Amino acid sequence: MAATFLGTTGNWGIPQDEAGIIIADLSFDYSNQEKPVLSKGGEIIGLALYQEKVEVKLSGLVAKTSPFAGKIGAALALANAMPAHLQAASGGTTIIKQINLALNNEDFEKIDITATHYPFVASSP
């Protein structure tokens, strides 16, 4: 049964499954490097923010039909939109860094994927 909403609520759930994965959890962790400019007295008077990236983590069940077939180091195309929290221009490439498969004799095949989105890396040379 679908969720019933009463009163003021936030966004609910994950909009859609990823390719080959019945998605259970999806997160985006935005970060960047920083370099401060210090005054003679050691106080921060300026700041450079650079090397923006997004760590993407997703977990779910491997779909029985058309299971996930991505490879480490390959681009990951996401079905769910990445929120626009980067300062950089839109675009870039999400690269798969880690894949974890878990099997159990009384459970479904589970998958965890970690990837990094680089906003200035082109998807093809």
Hey, where are the domains in the chain? Answer: 21-118
Say yes or no to pLDDT of 11 above 90.
no
Provide the residue count of the chain: 125
Residue with the bigger pLDDT between 68 and 89: it is 68
Give pLDDT, residue 114: 98
Whole-number Å distance between alpha carbons of 39 and 5: 53
pLDDT tens, 31-69? Answer: 999 999 999 999 999 999 999 999 999 999 999 999 999
User: Phi/psi at 23 (nearest 5 deg)?
Assistant: -75, 135
Give pLDDT, residue 101: 95
Query: What residues contact residue 88 under an 8 Å CB cut-off, 6+ apart?
Result: 52, 119, 120
Average confidence (pLDDT) over 79-85? 87
Average confidence (pLDDT) over 16-22? 89
Give pLDDT, residue 1: 63
Considering the chain, what is the average pLDDT of its residues? 91
Average confidence (pLDDT) over 12-29? 90
Whole-number Å distance between alpha carbons of 30 and 87: 10
